[in-house]
Amino acid sequence: MMGCSFLLTLFVLLLHGVFGDDVVTVMEGDTVTLNTDITKKEHDKMLWYFEDTRIALINGHPNTSCLYDGEDGRFRDRLKVDYETGSMIITDITTEHAGRYEAEIIRSESSGKRQSLNRNRKCDSTKITKKISVSHDDTTKTFNVIIIAALSDQVKTDEEPRMEKREFDLDLMSLTRRTAAAAAATPIRAVTTNRITASTVSQ
């Protein structure tokens, strides 16, 4: 019997001055890489969000960066990042990871926000941080990665039930033939009926 599997169709939309569509299709259990396709400077920061919840803070080095589990821990042990480019890698993807991803670039010149990020030295992967509004200026660039999942269940076709019925009929026919053959091979025993005639003896 054919098992059910899920097909995730990921539509990736990047906002980088102009809109460009990029479609990524992965099967459940696969690994997907979300590329920012930008030149990241050494001291630039990058924030990744999933449905407005922060899932990564990239400071250019693992020791000063943090990967978050996300709500319900759905991203625990599934996230990897390229610390040079800021690209996000999601491993063993499932239907609960389908949704909207956003990568926000914080340029080194944006001192105010950089200082607030630098204060968070210790990584708490369980922390839930919501996205706040940002100003779209020359020092901050925002990338929107929108993932819309279209579930496609592989169900049995109309032919499969018919095949199963034929297999059942064949099994039943085979059983019937075996029963008939067994009956034919059984010797018929002759049954003799003895009639006892009672005679009346006259005295």
| pLDDT digits 0-9 by tens, 7-63 | 554 444 444 433 444 556 677 788 888 887 766 777 788 888 888 899 999 887 788
- State the pLDDT confidence band at 75, using cuts at 50, 70 and 90: very high
Q: State the CB neighbour count (10 A cutoff) for residue 76.
A: 13
- For residue 196, what are the contacts with CB-CB under 8 A and spacing of at least 6? none
CA-to-CA separations, 187 to 182, 183, 184, 190, 191, in angstroms, rounded: 10, 9, 8, 9, 12
User: Which residue reads 């980088």 in tokens?
Assistant: 16
Helix (H, G, I), strand (E, B) or coil at 95: helix
Residue 78: pLDDT band (50, 70, 90) is very high
Buried b (16+ CB within 10 A) or exposed e, 43-59: ebbbbbbbeebbbbbbb
pTM value surpassing 0.85 = no
Which pair of structure tokens corresponds to residue 170? 């064949």
Q: Which domains does the chain have, with CATH numbers?
A: 7-146 (2.60.40.10)
Averaged pLDDT of the chain: 67
Alpha-carbon distance of 175 to 158, in angstroms, equals 27
117-142 pLDDT per residue, tens: 654 568 889 999 888 765 554 334 44
Res. 97: pLDDT tops 80: yes
List the alpha helices (DSSP H) in the chain.
Answer: 111-118, 159-185
Type of residue numbered 29: G
